[in-house]
Amino acid sequence: MTNILSIYPRRQDLRTQTNEDWTDGFPLYRAGLAGVVPGAKNVGNGALTVISVDPTTPLGGYEVEVTSVGGLTAITITDPFGAVSARGFAGTPLYASGITLNLAIGSTAFAVGDTFAVQPTVDFIDDTGIRYVLQVRRSQDAASLVFQADSAPPDGSTPTIVAGDGAGRPALLVPYTLMDASRFPEGDFVYDLLAVADGRRRVVYYGNLSHVQGAGYIP
């Protein structure tokens, strides 16, 4: 069995040209363990513990800040985009954007403005045994394909996708000779990159694709 069910679809819009190789990469990753760093000027000596991290948690830095003290110690969590993702109190588990954490009060009480930084790590998915197929269409409901790339073509032809082979980093390797407008017309399209394994199919990446005429030419 492979890790195909551990893959979560991600959007990535692309731009390609008629005069160059197509070599976009599609890293397969999820959120892993999260590190915690207390603010250098914190007054309180309590500890922040990360209980769990959902695989789909957005990557980046989260800030946990003490916003009021007294009978209860209130905290606010800000996500990597600067938005408040949760509010709660020290001493009880709090869920924010995929991270469950708990701030414990220590022997010295927290003060307003005490902070902690939380950052999930990148966990690349082992994609051993997974085949990749990229398909390009004029629109989502178009019946015919405009272009297709494959890491293991059934007809035995040269692969145009380099499989991750366990590293979780598949990438296209389409030569410029296949990107010419006579074989891949210019225009705006949509695409899906599919993972295939264990009798299943899973969308890995999807998005809009703009294929344009290149300006340079080397004879």
Q: Which CATH superfamily is domain 4-28+125-212 in?
A: Immunoglobulins (2.60.40.10)
pLDDT at 9: 95
Does this model's pTM top 0.95? My answer is no
Both tokens of 136, joined, read: 């390009």
pLDDT at 168: 96
Both tokens of 171, joined, read: 């990438």
Q: Where are the domains of the chain?
A: 4-28+125-212, 30-124
Residue 156 to residues 118, 152, 177, 183, 184: CA-CA distances in angstroms?
A: 48, 7, 19, 20, 21
Quickly tell me which residue has 């949760």 as its tokens: 86
pLDDT, averaged across the chain: 96
The residue-averaged pLDDT of 65-90 equals 96
Give pLDDT tens digits for 85-96. Answer: 999 999 999 999
- pLDDT higher than threshold 80 for residue 216: no
Angle at 8 between CA 7 and CA 14, to 5 degrees: 105
Contacts of 173 (CB under 8 A, 6+ apart): 21, 22, 23, 159, 160, 161, 162
